Amino acid sequence: MKRDEFLKLVSIAAAGIQLGFNSKSLILNLDNKAIQQALGLDDSHLVSEFIKLEKNTYQAFSQMKSKAAKAGIDINIVSGYRSFEHQKEIWERKFKHLTSEKKPLQAIMEIIKYSSIPGTSRHHWGTDIDIIDSAAQAPSGDLLLEKHYHNNGPFSKLKSWMDLNSKDFGFELVYTNDKERTGFKYEPWHYSFKPESKKYLKIQSQDNFLKAWQNLEFEGKSYLTDEFITTYFETYNLGINPVLMQF
């Protein structure tokens, strides 16, 4: 989505949408574990030492990995769980770098092409994974590039296998190549374990989640108005494979 289109949507949201999460009548429950998990602030639901994952996600992933191994594919996770603190580091590094040349809002629009606003990333949940095929010859440079997953790219065999099999294990592609989809760009490497991630997506839409998010601190946050955030959630967090929104 182009920056102008997004900003137009923001102004539409500002003009017309009643912002539910501004309601003063809501009871703020910051102790709610599920909300803390959705924000990347609690990792007590995660297992595995090396790359942390939500426990059912880990089980399903292990089964999927075994099945793929029989086809000569070595599925490996390059990014699983990411804490709020980690996402904040990524965000602030990009924000500092980009604001040396651009205005803050322009910098933010650049960052959110690929990186989530801290506290809103699906990687906070422990249900989402970025994967590669370690049996393939690793390309030099950045592993997570679209071209590596298509045509004769090193991870094209993995992608074809996932297209056919991932659903059987509960994994769905999140940021599909659907031109009608809004938000983040196409990511052929990012899968989500739907049976668990759908719960966190639901939590994200709740008023008390947004209340809790508003208490978090990171650089550049002051530019994210309520209107911006409302539009961001609609465009980005719901700009996903529709299968993941069927509860």
Give the interface with Zn ion as residue ranges (CB under 5 A): 130, 190
Paired strand residues for 47: 53
We find the least distance from the C-beta atom of residue 234 to Zn ion, in angstroms, to be 20
We find the least distance from the C-beta atom of residue 100 to Zn ion, in angstroms, to be 26
We find the least distance from the C-beta atom of residue 175 to Zn ion, in angstroms, to be 8
We find the least distance from the C-beta atom of residue 173 to Zn ion, in angstroms, to be 11
We find the least distance from the C-beta atom of residue 13 to Zn ion, in angstroms, to be 26
122 vs 211, beta carbon nearer Zn ion: 122
Q: Which residue is nearest to Zn ion (CB)?
A: 190
130 vs 133, beta carbon nearer Zn ion: 130
10 vs 112, beta carbon nearer Zn ion: 112
52 vs 190, beta carbon nearer Zn ion: 190
The DSSP code for 220 is T
88 vs 211, beta carbon nearer Zn ion: 88
**Residue 101 neighbours by CB under 8 Å, 6+ apart:** none
